[in-house]
């Protein structure tokens, strides 16, 4: 959190006097790189998209009139969420989780406003086309040429702004509206889903720091269930092997007495080896890298062992769930 505040005070604060100065400042490549590093210290999964979303809140906070003109309930929610994010990241007492939550809230409001603003822009363009069509039909022949020139210019701008959606906008107003709404809804749903999962794993990491292992063991138990579901009932040898290697009751006991480092590494490597054996060959190199990373656990090369442990387990969970889903879909066609 301190690095984010430092970037604002040293690289941004002096350029908040005008809209143009702030916009130019936020596009500086050095500042973008510094911000990415600072955000990833708070949450390693943050990407360049998250940087742009975060930095945009300065524009909304300092220059709402330039951004929105006349406000509406959607814009007002975005302004309020930008104020909350601004205050949260500058308060020294704010925690990383508070910052992540504030950025999540702002991003949801930003996506909602972008959808709303895009719908308004589409409506404006459609109105322009209707009006131009009416003028073209009712006007004398001597002004047909300038009207056609205006229509060509409008077509060019429409194509530049809406790209692949241009034909939909011109041909089917209702279908376009539904498609855009559906795409944005799916994007927001995915964002909310990912955010909730991030909070879930953050909570597990916090519990591990407090030597509480119940939820971690529950996750391992779920992984075992997934792995068993991929095997035939006749393959009893492999099923027994999984039961033995993912003995959650034994793991919980050694975790509670602080003697589980070797057991944890062996368990994770077994899960990854299983994924390599039963998963798609195209992911083998990724699995190999995860196995190498697992070998680094509990060594001096790792500064944050708990975070690395969580990242590996999360990869195992996600890849197991995907593998189960693929097998289920394949089974439906048999």
Phi, psi (degrees; rounded to nearest 5) at 17: -75, -35
Do residues 112 and 78 lie in contact, with contact meaning Cβ atoms separated by under 8 Å? yes
* pTM of the model as a whole: 0.45
Q: Does 80 have pLDDT greater than 90?
A: yes
The HSE-up count of residue 253 (CA atoms within 13 Å, CB side) is 5
pLDDT at residue 135 in the model: 63
Question: What spatial distance separates the first Cα and last Cα of the chain, rounded to whole Å?
Answer: 53
| Range of lowest pLDDT (7-21, 91-105, 120-134) | 120-134
Which of 140 and 285 is assigned the larger pLDDT? 285
Confidence of residue 82 (pLDDT cuts 50, 70, 90): very high
What integer pLDDT is reported at residue 110 of this predicted model? 86
The model's pLDDT over 271-309, given as tens digits with 9 standing for 90+, comes to 999 999 888 888 889 999 999 999 988 888 888 888 899
Nearest to 155 by CA among 117, 124, 129: 129
| Predicted confidence (pLDDT) at residue 162 exceeds the cutoff of 60 | no
Q: Is 279 left (phi over 0), alpha (psi -120 to 50) or beta?
A: beta
Please report, rounded to a whole number, the percentage of residues in the chain having pLDDT higher than 70.
Answer: 75
pLDDT digits (tens, 9 = 90+) for 93-121: 888 899 999 999 999 988 887 776 666 66
Position 178 scores a pLDDT of 59
Alpha-carbon span 60 to 54, nearest angstrom: 11
Tell me the average pLDDT across 218-232. Answer: 90
In the structure, what pLDDT confidence band is assigned to residue 65 with cuts at 50, 70 and 90? confident
Instruction: Note the pLDDT of residue 242.
Output: 93
Residue 19 has a pLDDT of 87
Q: How far apart are CA 283 and CA 99, in angstroms?
A: 34
pLDDT digits (tens, 9 = 90+) for 302-331: 888 888 999 999 999 888 888 887 776 655
The answer to whether the CB of 76 falls within 8 A of the CB of 126 is no
Separation of alpha carbons 109 and 19, rounded Å = 21
Rg (CA), the chain: 27
Beta carbons within 8 Å of 231's beta carbon, 6+ residues apart: 238, 239, 242
Burial label for 278, CB within 10 Å (0-12, 13-18, 19+), is middle
pLDDT at residue number 123: 65
Residues belonging to the chain: 334
pLDDT at residue 179 in the model: 59
Q: Does residue 158 have a pLDDT over 70? A: no
The mean per-residue pLDDT over the stretch 234-242 comes to 91
pLDDT of residue 28: 81
Q: Between 27 and 272, where is the model more confident?
A: 272
Q: What is the pLDDT of residue 301?
A: 84
Q: For the chain, what percentages of helix, strand and coil (3-state, to nearest 5) are there?
A: 85, 0, 15
């Amino acid at each position: 959190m301190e690095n984010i505040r430092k970037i604002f005070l040293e690289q941004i604060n002096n350029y908040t006097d005008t809209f143009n100065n702030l916009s130019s400042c936020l596009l500086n490549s050095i500042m973008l790189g510094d911000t990415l590093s600072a955000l990833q210290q708070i949450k390693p999964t943050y990407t360049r998209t998250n940087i742009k979303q975060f930095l945009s809140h300065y524009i909304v906070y300092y220059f709402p009139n330039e951004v929105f003109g006349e406000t509406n309930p959607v814009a007002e929610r975005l302004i309020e969420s930008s104020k909350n994010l601004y205050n949260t990241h500058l308060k020294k007492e704010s925690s990383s989780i508070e910052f992540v939550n504030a950025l999540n809230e702002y991003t949801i409001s930003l996506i909602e406003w972008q959808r709303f603003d895009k719908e308004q822009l589409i409506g404006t363009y459609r109105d322009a086309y209707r009006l131009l069509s009416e003028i073209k039909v009712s006007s004398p022949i001597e002004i047909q040429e300038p009207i056609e020139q205006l229509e060509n210019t409008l077509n060019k701008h429409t194509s530049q702004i809406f790209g692949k959606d241009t034909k939909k906008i011109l041909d089917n107003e209702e279908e376009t509206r539904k498609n855009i709404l559906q795409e944005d809804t799916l994007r927001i749903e995915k964002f909310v889903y990912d955010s909730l999962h991030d909070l879930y794993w953050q909570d597990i990491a916090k519990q591990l720091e407090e030597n509480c292992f119940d939820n971690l063991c529950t996750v391992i138990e779920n992984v075992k269930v997934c792995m068993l579901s991929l095997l035939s009932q006749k393959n009893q040898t492999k099923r027994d092997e999984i039961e033995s290697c993912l003995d959650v009751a034994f793991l919980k006991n050694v975790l509670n007495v602080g003697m589980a480092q070797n057991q944890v590494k062996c368990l994770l490597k077994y899960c990854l080896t299983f994924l390599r054996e039963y998963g798609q060959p195209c992911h083998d190199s990724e699995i190999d890298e995860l196995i190498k990373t697992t070998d680094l656990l509990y060594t001096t090369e790792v500064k944050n062992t708990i975070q690395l442990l969580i990242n590996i387990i999360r990869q195992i969970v996600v890849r197991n769930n995907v593998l189960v889903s693929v097998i289920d879909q394949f089974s439906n066609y048999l």
